[in-house]
Amino acid sequence: PLKEMNPGQRHFAQAILSVALSGRGHMKAEQIMALEHVLFELEKDSGPKRDAENYFVSIFGAPNPKGTWGFRWEGHHLSLNFTLVDGELVSSTPSFFASNPGKIKEGQPGPVGLEVLQYEDDLGRQLAKSLTPEQRKQGFLSKDPFKDIVTGNKQKADGLIKHKGIAATALTAEQKQMLGKIIFEYVSRARPDFAVREIKAIDAVKDTLVFAWNGGLEVGEPHYYSIQGPTFLFEMANFQGGANHVHASWRDLKKDFAYDPLREHAKEHAAGK
């Protein structure tokens, strides 16, 4: 954990995280960890002891510009996984960002109005509200909100979630833009060069995307949404704490923990490439 590191080790840990994430993604991660101070004051002795230094950094392999290595940064409301091959980031999933409080309210400790995952939440609601009654017959699952993201903390997201939704091809041009903004909010947490490649790959299959909404449409009403593609899934749930506790994840069936990229790299290495 960070609390057991010496200053040099802590500097290295922070450095590799800042390099793997974009500036915006790194800021969100730092804010999520800082919220542990807020929870410490809010919960006192009523819950787990919150500690902004109780985040664990695991290194897999030897960090090197040549070869394969990875690292994980994990703790309360933050689970980030990265794999690099020959100096290039090839995987940044599973990726889990969460925020409690979702928004710091008047009278709570911390900067009032801070809402770390505001855009993930607001953009999803904006798209859901824009759906016509006919579109909602496909896009709305039920009024009873899911209590959390469906994939949970499974090490491997075997298969995609089973619920349906509205196909991107059934959306208007404006709604498709909204959908793209949501996806960008998740993917752009990663370093820019990697994020650009991921956005291009998702754009290539944009007609296969499916959006689903579950729960209420107003702020303060528990809700959930998902965006599903052939091999990837974005989910957000805001159920707990009076719908002021956000969980948001990005999973990739092919790239979680770099499963497929490493397999391809091994094939190339065996072939002498």
What is the pLDDT, as a whole number, of residue 238? 98
What is the pLDDT, as a whole number, of residue 156? 62
What is the pLDDT, as a whole number, of residue 269? 45
Report the alpha-carbon distance of residue 247 to residue 264 in Å, rounded: 32
Q: Which residues contact 117 (CB under 8 A, 6 or more apart)?
A: 28, 97, 98, 99, 102, 236, 246, 248
The closest of 247, 58, 242, 215 to 151, measured between CA atoms, is: 247
What is the pLDDT, as a whole number, of residue 49? 82
The full set of domain ranges for the chain reads 2-270
The closest of 254, 81, 262, 264 to 160, measured between CA atoms, is: 254
Q: What is the pLDDT along the chain (273 residues), one digit of tens a residue?
A: 999 999 999 999 999 999 999 999 999 999 999 999 999 999 886 666 899 999 999 999 999 999 999 999 999 999 999 999 999 999 999 999 999 999 999 999 999 999 999 999 999 999 999 999 999 999 999 888 888 998 876 666 665 677 789 999 999 999 999 999 999 999 999 999 999 999 999 999 999 999 999 999 999 999 999 999 999 999 999 999 999 999 999 999 888 987 554 444 444 444 444
Per the omega criterion (within 30 degrees of 0), is the bond before 109 cis? no
The closest of 149, 148, 116, 152 to 241, measured between CA atoms, is: 148
Angle at 246 between CA 199 and CA 42, to 5 degrees: 145
Q: For 26, how many CA atoms within 13 A lie in the half-sphere containing its CB? A: 13
The closest of 74, 265, 92, 55 to 186, measured between CA atoms, is: 92
